[in-house]
Amino acid sequence: MARSPEYRQDKIIGEPMLNKPFYITTPIYYVNDRPHIGHSYTTIAADLLARYQRLNGREAFFLTGTDEHGSKIAEAAASAGLEPKAFCDRVVEHFKKTWDNLSIEYDDFIRTTDDRHVRAVQKLLMTLKDARTEAGQPVIYTGSYEGLYCVGCEKFLTEKDLVNGVCPDHKTTPRLLKETNYFFRLTAFLPRLKELIETNQLLILPEERRREALGLFGQELADFSLSRERVKWGIPLPFDPTQSAYVWVDALLNYYTTLKITNNEDFWPADIHLIGKEILWFHAVIWEAMLLSTGISLPKEIFAHSFYMIDGQKMSKSLGNVISPQELIDKFGVDGTRYLIASSFPYEKDSDVGWERFVEKYNADLANGLGNLISRVAKLCETKDYFPKNSPPTAISYLLENGDYQSHMEKLEFNLVLEEIWKEIKKTDVLINTKRPWEKSNEEAKKTLDEAIRNILNIGYALKPFLPGTAEKIEKIFRGGEKLEATLFPRATL
């Protein structure tokens, strides 16, 4: 759900930690189909990082949206028997609804078919048209190109990229295209770009992706065509409306132009462009070269994570092997889904997911772990006639101040952050098992319950970025004296 601007900063701890406000983006997703849990994975990660920054008192802007132009979308619309815009209007609602249902709090949602985006892109394209390289050559020039185009990737592939003649990601045969286009003089910016990545002025994480990006510079790279002659479903070039902007150029510009449109330029440069590893080339090379050519400062970091797999295959719309986020929400609830997705975050390795594993993890960690602890302590409070109405406020959770929590969070090692929190849950379970407050006098029991409640409030605070609904409920029960009506995480079955 869109956040209203005045809530962009939750000053819980006090003054902002750092002067530069935090800016995080997700890829803008293609609307050729509904979102699956692969998209949720990136969006939840960005949401929880933005929430974490706000918890630390830093202002944060979180941008997501949809990529709606190009052949891929035009073809999906045609097979649905709709005009492209009508088709996009329909699918975009699924994205927005999914993000709402997952408690995603973005600051803006940009659609590339928004007038505001189209105008801003055209303006920047004019800047590019007038730009010169250091050697004084125009950055944009006309030329013709012939190559194999994969509509799924919206990218020209070389013979080397193909496996048995098909695109390895989309399993489709690319088309031979020959067009006269406007070209972007990428080659003029490569040496500087390489240097920026080598010196980590543009940080690419994880390390394996940084190496991969640097490896790209060893290959023979050519200038790329920035426009399409035959693609009608796109933004017309302001200096030649017979051509439309290449869909990737149109899409990448959103990261910068949306801040401009909304008068939020002080958030630039982006602190993190969070992406999946398959689009590293576009972010580490194409996007950065465009920024260099216009003199706009580069983002600080690109974080390219790995994939959710199903039976060893990347989960993807084109392969049709997807799990929908709504199915997960229906079974595990919003916070249960956020937990399962965040804790499985295999940022370096692809990892197979499936229902069995989800159910098992949910039952172990949420139904039996956190949920059970909350129910147990709430019930003990009732039987021991103890209503923890005025528990002292935890201004900041000691877990949040814990160096491990912070460093894991900064490296997007969410599974490890959660492990830290779950240690605290286990510790509190052990405390109750050892002290056995149910056998003690009310007075004696209160001491143990006080300690358990302190731990639970602390756990709740540390869980705020991950499980916002549960964190709020914990506050209400153990500080507000609200009665726990039913267990927060009922057991799930396959």
Which residues are catalytic, by number?
36, 39, 150, 153, 167, 170, 314, 317
Instruction: Provide CB contacts within 8 A for 379, sequence distance 6+.
Output: 484
Is the Cβ of residue 150 or residue 252 nearer to ligand MSP in the bound state?
Answer: 252
Q: How far is the CB of 331 from ligand MSP (least distance, A)?
A: 19
Contact characters 133-152, ligand MSP, x per CB under 6 A: --------------------
Backbone angles phi, psi at 132, to 5 degrees: -125, 150
Alpha-carbon gap, residue 187 to 137, rounded angstroms:
12
Distance of CA 453 to the CA centre of its chain: 33
Segment interacting with ligand MSP, rule: CB under 6 A, options 81-89, 138-146, 312-320, 486-494: 312-320
Q: Which of 183, 224, 256, 308 binds ligand MSP (CB under 6 A)?
A: 308
Q: In the window 20-49, what residues touch ligand MSP (CB under 6 A)?
A: 27-30, 38-39, 41-42
Residue 429 to residue 418: CA distance in whole angstroms: 17
CB atoms within 10 A of CB 70: 25
What would the two tokens of residue 23 be?
């800016």
The span from the CA of 424 to the CA of 444, in Å, is 22
CB of 366 to ligand MSP, least distance (A): 22
| 193 to 232: interface string for ligand MSP, x by CB under 6 A | ----------------------------------------
Residue of minimal Cβ distance to ligand MSP: 38
Residues in 151-170 that interact with ligand MSP by CB under 6 A: none
Main-chain dihedrals φ then ψ at residue 473, nearest 5 degrees:
-65, -40
Please name the residues in contact with 356: beta carbons below 8 A apart, sequence gap of 6 or more: 494
Q: Is 67 in the site for ligand MSP (CB under 6 A)?
A: yes
Written as one letter, the residue type at 98 is: T
The DSSP call for residue 384 is T
Distance of CA 458 to the CA centre of its chain: 26
Q: Does 252 bind ligand MSP (CB under 6 A)?
A: yes
* Span interacting with ligand MSP, options 14-22, 311-319, 371-379, 385-393, rule CB under 6 A: 311-319
Indicate the DSSP class of residue 266.
G
The stretch near ligand MSP (CB under 6 A) out of 264-272, 306-314, 392-400, 476-484 is: 306-314
Judged by beta carbon, residue 271 or residue 429, the one nearer ligand MSP is 271
Query: For residues 39 and 408, which CB has a smaller minimum distance to ligand MSP in the complex?
Result: 39
Assess 276 for contact with ligand MSP (CB under 6 A). yes
CB of 279 to ligand MSP, least distance (A): 5
Minimum CB–partner distance for residue 66 and ligand MSP (Å): 8
Q: If you count them, how many residues does the chain have?
A: 494
Cα–Cα distance, 329 to 340 (Å, whole number): 10
Listed in order, strand segments (DSSP E) in 306-379 are 308-310, 313-314, 351-352
Q: How far apart are CA 337 and CA 488, in angstroms?
A: 13
Residue of the chain from 106, 307, 339, 345 that contacts ligand MSP (CB under 6 A): 307
| Residue 31: CB minimum distance to ligand MSP, A | 8
| Rounded least distance, CB 209 to ligand MSP, Å | 12
**Contact residues for 300 (Cβ-Cβ < 8 A; gap 6+):** 202, 203, 269, 270, 271, 272
- Element housing 272 (H / E): strand 272-276
Tokens of 94: 């699924």
For residues 131 and 315, which CB has a smaller minimum distance to ligand MSP in the complex?
Answer: 315
Place of tokens 């962009």: 8
Measured from the CB atom, the residue of 139 and 275 that comes closer to ligand MSP is: 275
Question: Which residues on adjacent β-strands are paired with residue 327?
Answer: none
Site residue total, ligand MSP (CB under 6 A): 20
- Shortest CB 154 distance to ligand MSP, Å: 8
Rule CB under 6 A: which residues touch ligand MSP?
Answer: 27-30, 38-39, 41-42, 67, 251-252, 275-276, 278-279, 307-308, 314-316
